[in-house]
Amino acid sequence: MSSSLTLRTELVEIETHLSLSDKLITELEQFTRKHYSLTSHQQFYEQVLGLRKSGGLGIFYNNNKIVGFTRICRNLIQAQGKQITAYTGGTYHDPRIDLNFTAAKFCLAKAIRYKLERPNDEMVYFALAGSPARYEFLVKLNNEILPQENRPIPEFVLELAESLKKRNGWESNPWHPMLVKHQIQWLNPPPFQAEKTDALTRYYTSLNPEYLNGTSLLIYLPINLTDISFVIKRVLTEMQTPFQHLETDYAI
């Protein structure tokens, strides 16, 4: 089997006064239930789609079948007496398919658009890294992200994270202030290959040893044109890899 996928991305703008079609919501929920543990339709509606929040939705197809999607939500929060626009992003996919690169391109396009539309707004982005592979990809995408080993997290970032948790009803984990508990869990998580561990994997698992139980690590990244330009350069020149099956005997 070829190691590459031919993907098509469908972009959906989500605003509080608009609604997704019932057909699309059903298709996304059915896909999610194949790969994640959902307790109810309400959990999917609120925790995964977050349809009460403005933002964007990128749906990734291969041969007209959904293989994953990324949801970006816009949150207005307060920190140190300032109003900050905080975007949160989560990608849901079959764990045997690597959609990191595809999701990153979608998120970059949205970040550029948001910043150009609101150049004077102070913006930040928080990704939910639910696996060592996701964390490693984000670090290689932009080495300014937090948390990172031997780099203290500024109080401002910690305050943003706490505000974001409260706004979204996320439960903190006492192990680390950037952890959130009880996110959507994999039904069949990707196998952990101890022989392939590196410094980034060891650091991630030291912060989030319960990631297989649905605990995610909040990853902070400021949104400004300098950072966006740097990430675009990394994506275009250093990180162009084919979309990969993580198990070559898997058929979509």
What is the token pair recorded at 98? 């690597």
pLDDT digits (tens, 9 = 90+) for 164-218: 999 998 999 999 999 998 678 888 876 655 556 789 999 999 999 989 888 999 9
Indicate whether 250 pLDDT > 50: no
| CA distance linking residue 209 with residue 211, whole number of Å | 6
The residue written with tokens 């006492």 in the block is 174
Domains detected in the chain: 7-245 (3.40.630.30)
The residue written with tokens 């690597």 in the block is 98
Which pTM value belongs to this model? 0.84
Helix, strand, or coil here: 3?
Answer: coil
Indicate whether 158 pLDDT > 90: yes
